[in-house]
Chain A
């Protein structure tokens, strides 16, 4: 069974630029999550989708971050404009449903200079 796929794996941008990350969940998984992991910390949930609807985005900085999940499969997370403090690893996870185990992708390491 293929795991959660993410791209790109690494991205370096300057502050005030925009960036987008892509996630393809495990086939059949209805729930998709985006987490932000700052160096030395645990992952923090940014947004949770159930199929193509948002379940929780309370910790998403909506003035600069946006996310969508078209057709309930792939998802993109966008940052515009980026700030230095956005430097982190962005992890995508998926699960069969909201109470099921989450499987994490390899992450995208973002460096904002």
Chain B
């Protein structure tokens, strides 16, 4: 059974700081996804990582994948308030996705 663990589960940080969210998954998987969810909203796809060493960047967010360590990271550079949300990583292939519990991120001025 595939398990996905995120840490931290809660993060409060100041604007302008950098931080990293970690996502570990238990078994070999085809791909790794990062989603963002705002309160009361659905899931917005951020990144899809398909292979070892994959790195993708969008604005202040950068995601990477190390399949040997079964680890993905989501790095936030110079955080701004608009990035406050819950971030989920999810792993899976043909059988649907297994999600982590999410990282609730609050960015304070």
Q: Are B93 and A43 in contact (CB under 8 A)?
A: no
Chain B 92-109 near chain A by CB (<8 Å), digits 1 or 0: 011111111110000000
Contact A99 B94, CB 8 Å, known A42-B88, A91-B42, A107-B42: yes
Q: What is the chain B residue whose CB lies nearest that of A47?
A: B96
Interface size class of B (residues with CB under 8 A): 20 to 34
Q: Interface readout for A42-77 with B: 1 if CB under 8 Å, 0 if not?
A: 111100100000011000000000000000000000
How many chain-A residues does the 8 Å CB contact rule pick out?
20
Interface centre among A42, A48, A103, A105 (most CB of B within 10 A): A42
B5 CB to nearest chain A CB (Å)? 11
Q: Is the interface of A mostly helix, strand, loop or mixed?
A: loop
Distance in angstroms from B104 CB to nearest chain A CB is 9
Among B42, B88, B95, B101, max chain A CB count under 10 A is at B42
Is residue A22 within 8 Å, beta carbon to beta carbon, of the partner chain? no
Tell whether, in the assembled complex, residue B98 and residue A45 are in contact, meaning their CB atoms are under 8 Å apart. yes
Q: Counting CB contacts under 8 A, is A104 at the interface?
A: yes
- Docked Cα-Cα span, A69 to B32, in Å, equals 27
Are the CB atoms of B99 and A44 closer together than 8 Å?
A: yes
The answer to whether B94 and A98 touch across the interface, beta carbons within 8 angstroms, is: yes
The residue of chain A having its C-beta at the shortest distance from the C-beta of B50 within the complex is A99
CB distance from A93 to the nearest CB of B (A): 8
Partner of A33, one of B48, B96, B100: B96
Digitize A7-43: 1 where CB-to-B-CB distance is under 8 Å, 0 elsewhere.
0000000000000000000000000010000001111
Q: Can you identify 17 A-B contacts, CB atoms within 8 angstroms?
A: A33-B97, A40-B101, A40-B102, A41-B101, A41-B102, A42-B88, A42-B99, A42-B100, A43-B43, A43-B99, A45-B98, A56-B95, A91-B42, A91-B43, A98-B93, A99-B30, A101-B48
Q: Which residues of B contact A (CB under 8 A)?
A: 4, 30-31, 33, 41-43, 45, 48, 88, 90, 93-102
